[in-house]
Amino acid sequence: MIRSLRWSIVFLAILTLVPDARPQSKETAINPQSSCSRDSALGIIQRQIDLTKTIDSDAKRITLTLRAADLMWPADQGKARATFRDAFDVATRLFKEKGAPDSKDGRLIVGGIDYRYTAITAIARRDPSWAEQLMKQMLAEQTDAATAKAAEEAAKEKAETNPEATQTSESLMGIALGLVSNDQQTAVKFARSTLQYPATMFTSSFFFKLWEKNHALADQFYTEALNAYARSPMDQFLYLSSYPFAANREIGEMPVWTIYSVPNGLTPNPGLQRLFVATLLSRAHELIQNPVTPKAGVRWTENTQVFMSLSRLEPLIANSLPDLTAQVAEARGNIASLLTAPEQKRSDDTMKDPPRQTFDEIIEAADRLANADNREANIALAVLHAADTGTETIEKLDAAAMKLEDIKLRKQVTSLAYFNRSQTLLKDKKLDEARRLAAKVEEPDQRAYLYAKIADEMLKQKKDDTDVREMLQDVIDTVAKSSDSEVKVRAMLVVVHLYSTIDANRAVSLLSDVIKTINNIPSIDLAGDRIRLKVEGRAFGTYSGLQTPGFSPEVVFREMGKLDFDGTLYLASNLNDKSIRGMTTLALADQCLKDLPPPPKTNKPAAVKPQ
């Protein structure tokens, strides 16, 4: 569970919707004569660069400009640099005028986007040195320092007193995370720039992501980070507790936390564990020798955080670091003597495992609550948890959900329960059962997602695509009854995506309908490729998401362009929204360049030796 409501730091599960390789129907291929060529593709990219200057929304302009610059880079670095620079300048102006304010989606606080970091991330993939220069320039302006020393001191002071420093740390680490898959050395350079700012859960995530690509470099950077944060407040220092233990959570009570995805093969590292434990013991001894008065209004005092961390460490190091167990136990006892009675009780209650209850016991206890808001929250969360874990039958979950008096909430809960259970059944290859539950999912984009996964499995198992067509028709019939919306468009895009693999003519016809629907929706935002999973009651909310390429207009147009480049390019030109038209057109140009054979190698004439 993620206890922060900042959407910008919610880690989403990344799932692949439709693999490239699957059985193809005889009806698939169109393949008319295509006008795709290098010159035509570069011409398309240049026209989109020109188009960006006419887009009113700065955010959409930046996104399209960065994409066009990236595609232009291999052919003309001069033009690409100028285009990248334009995007960064617009992002800088936008930040100076409006900052990066948060917004609200129901109860959810959506973190604002600082597009300067978005631009630097894109530039770093092509020119890391230039990106590093821009970053240093930007940070220098933020700290308003005259010299490097003054800037460093200002950053350190800012890290202690200004919460904006945490956002800076997250944004910089976001660049590093965006680079780690392709360029680990550059990613570490940007990650290293965060060490003068507070550690966050992005810091922990980076260790795990870097380890997947370079074990030694990840361990090296962890040591650097441990030294950098050795004197930081426990709310920051304890973010460094997950990686050495290969744990999916910290041993402290963090201000913002998540469940990390620990890479396969990563095991606890006794060497790094020893460094971490030694640092924590040193901090504990300082507190024991020089007790400090707790600051008013803090979530957890330093004493309490150290006490809970040492308590949780004892069983973790019993086998890996037996020589330190006595020191940890002694330090824990000494720190305990510094805790006030309320601190001791609160820490004990926090570390105590909640009593195990069956699903029936949880529902019965919730049913007895006098407060209606708490009652519905407990029932709803119990149903969703049981749907995730698969511990109860779907019939029992339906019966429990009927206790929810709010009909709208009941529909949200049961729909998400069906969605989650259908995914579980799909993993177990129980396609018929998965399809039965998928048909009950209320949100058309979520239902389309499930149908796409089920269809993929069906096409792998047999040549007959009748069942697949039935499911796609179900989505089409469902969205036909609903009003035009982003959800409707994304569901239709998935249908087109799937039809492109079994019936290209039908896909073309449906893509025309998608364009008409998009054009009917003012200010539609189709950026990104995720669907939201949200349930909100009067006193609670639960939020997650799934990222899948089948919901992205760019992916759908790219796949359709493989079948009919000119026809799909024409369809894209009918989109009214300049940014969507630009992104889909660029996707076609990108695919065109990838499909072209490499240019022939020219044989250089042999050098003539001087006589």
**Residue range 505-534, pLDDT digits in tens:** 999 999 999 999 999 998 888 887 778 888
Q: Are 383 and 397 in contact (CB under 8 A)?
A: yes
The answer to the question of residue 15 being in a domain is: yes
Residue 405, helix vs strand vs coil: coil
- Find which of 326-330, 347-351, 486-490 is predicted with most confidence, using mean pLDDT: 326-330
Extract the tokens encoding 243.
Answer: 């990686």
Count the domains in the chain. Answer: 2
Lowest model confidence (mean pLDDT) among 171-180, 513-522, 563-572, 596-605: 596-605
369-401: burial string, b at 16+ Cβ within 10 Å, e else: eeeeeebbbbbbbbbbbbbeeeebebeebeebb
SS3 content of the chain, % helix, strand, coil (to 5): 65, 5, 30
Whether 397 and 409 share a structural domain: yes
What whole-number percentage of the chain has pLDDT above 90?
A: 70
| Distance of alpha carbon 164 from alpha carbon 28, whole angstroms | 53
Q: How does residue 64 score in pLDDT terms, banded at 50, 70 and 90?
A: very high
For residues 448 and 592, membership in a common domain is answered with yes
Number of H helices, E strands in the chain: 27, 5
pLDDT in the model for residue 588: 96
Mean pLDDT of 462-472: 84
Question: Percent of the chain beyond pLDDT 70?
Answer: 89
Helices (H), 368-393: 372-389
The CA distance from 425 to 409, in Å, is 24
Indicate whether 352 belongs to any domain.
Answer: no
* Cα separations in angstroms, 135 against 200, 306, 376: 19, 35, 48
pLDDT of 594 strictly over 60: yes
pLDDT of the residue at 32: 55
Helices (H), 269-371: 270-289, 302-317, 325-336, 341-351, 359-367
pLDDT at 11 exceeding the cut of 60: no
- Average pLDDT for residues 345-365, to the nearest whole number? 91
Split at pLDDT 50, 70, 90, the class of 420 is very high
Please, which pLDDT band fits residue 203 given cuts at 50, 70 and 90?
A: very high
Say if residue 428 is in the same domain as residue 456. no
Is 90 exceeded by the pLDDT of residue 103?
no
One domain, residues 450 and 588: yes
| pLDDT (0 to 100) of residue 26 | 43
User: Is a pLDDT exceeding 50 seen at residue 147?
Assistant: no
**Has residue 54 got a pLDDT over 90?**
yes
Higher pLDDT, 295 or 303: 303
Does 165 reside within a domain?
A: no
Q: Identify whether 542 is part of a domain.
A: yes
What length does the chain have?
Answer: 611
Write down the pLDDT at residue 162.
62
Give me the residue label for tokens 């511990």.
391
For 546, the enclosing helix (H) or strand (E) is strand 541-547
Q: Which one-letter DSSP state was computed for residue 539?
A: S
Last residue of a domain, one of 442, 462, 477: 442
CB 331 within 8 A of CB 284: yes
All residues at 6 or more sequence positions from 333 whose CB lies less than 8 Å from its CB, including other chains: none
Confidence of residue 208 (pLDDT cuts 50, 70, 90): very high
Beta-sheet strand order (sheet of 541-547): 13-14, 541-547, 530-536
Q: Is 246 left (phi over 0), alpha (psi -120 to 50) or beta?
A: left
Task: Answer yes or no: is pLDDT of 260 > 70.
Answer: yes
Cβ atoms 388, 410 nearer than 8 A? no
Residue in 495, 515, 530, 529 with CA at minimum distance from that of residue 577: 515
pLDDT level of residue 571 (50, 70, 90 thresholds): very high
Q: What would the two tokens of residue 482 be? A: 């609903």
Whether the predicted model's global pTM rises above the 0.85 cut: no
CB 410 within 8 A of CB 384: no
Structural contact between residues 449 and 494, judged by C-beta atoms closer than 8 angstroms: yes
Identity of the residue numbered 409 = L
User: Which pLDDT score is estimated for 1?
Assistant: 36
Cβ-contact 513, 575 below 8 angstroms: no
Last residue of a domain, one of 426, 442, 458: 442
Q: Which of 261-270, 296-305, 389-398 has the lowest mean pLDDT?
A: 296-305
**Same domain assignment for residues 511 and 375:** no
Q: Please give the mean pLDDT across all residues of the chain.
A: 87
**Is residue 43 pLDDT above 70, yes or no?**
yes
Tell me how many degrees the CA angle 145-147-151 measures, rounded to the nearest 5.
45
Q: Where is average pLDDT lowest: 116-125, 234-243, 424-433?
A: 424-433
- Separation CA 455–CA 23 (nearest Å): 11
536 shares a domain with 489: yes
- Does residue 47 lie within any of the structural domains? no
- Shared-domain flag, residues 474 and 376: no
DSSP string for residues in 498-523: HHHHH-HHHHHHHHHHHHHHHHTSTT
Say if residue 376 is in the same domain as residue 500. no
Looking at 397, 422, 442, the residue that finishes a domain is 442
Give me the residue label for tokens 């950026």. 527
**Geometric angle at alpha carbon 484, from 483 and 487, rounded to 5°:** 100
Q: Does residue 60 carry a pLDDT above 80?
A: yes
Residue 1 structural domain: 1-34+444-596
Task: Please give the average per-residue pLDDT across 329-342, as a whole number.
Answer: 94
Backbone region of residue 482 per phi and psi (left: phi > 0; alpha: psi in -120 to 50; beta: other values)? beta
DSSP string, 467-482: HHHHHHHHHHHHHHTS
22-48: burial string, b at 16+ Cβ within 10 Å, e else: eeebeebebeeebebeeebbbebbbeb
pLDDT tens sequence across 314-334: 999 999 999 999 999 999 999
Whether residue 10 has pLDDT greater than 60: no
pLDDT score, position 109: 79
Residues 422 and 457 in one domain: no
Both 491 and 462 in a single domain? yes
pLDDT band at 463 (very low <50, low <70, confident <90, very high): low
* Domain contains 40: no
Q: How many Cβ atoms from other residues are within 10 Å of residue 440's Cβ? A: 16
pLDDT at 149 over 80: no
Tokens of 309: 């961390």
Residue 231 has pLDDT above 70, yes or no: yes
Instruction: Give mean pLDDT, residues 15-42.
Output: 59
- pLDDT given for residue 53 in this prediction: 93
Contact by Cβ (8 Å): 413, 401: yes
Instruction: Kindly state whether residues 376 and 508 are assigned to the same domain.
Output: no
Report whether pLDDT(159) > 60: no
Residue 257: band (very low, low, confident or very high) from pLDDT cuts 50, 70, 90: confident
Asked if the structure places residue 99 within a domain, the reply is: no
> pLDDT class for 3, splitting at 50, 70, 90?
very low
Let me know whether 515 and 578 are in one domain: yes
Three-class SS of residue 598?
A: coil
| Residue 186 CA from chain centroid, whole number | 21
Residue 600's pLDDT band (cuts 50, 70, 90):
low
Whether the CB-CB separation of 479 and 444 falls below 8 Å is answered with: yes
Report the pLDDT averaged over residues 269-293. Answer: 94
SS (H, E, C) 123-172: HHHHCHHHHHHHHHHHHHHHHCCCCHHHHHHHHHHHHHHCCHHHHHHHHH
Does the residue 118 lie in any domain?
no
- Rounded to whole angstroms, what are the CA distances from 72 to 304, 586, 588? 55, 10, 14
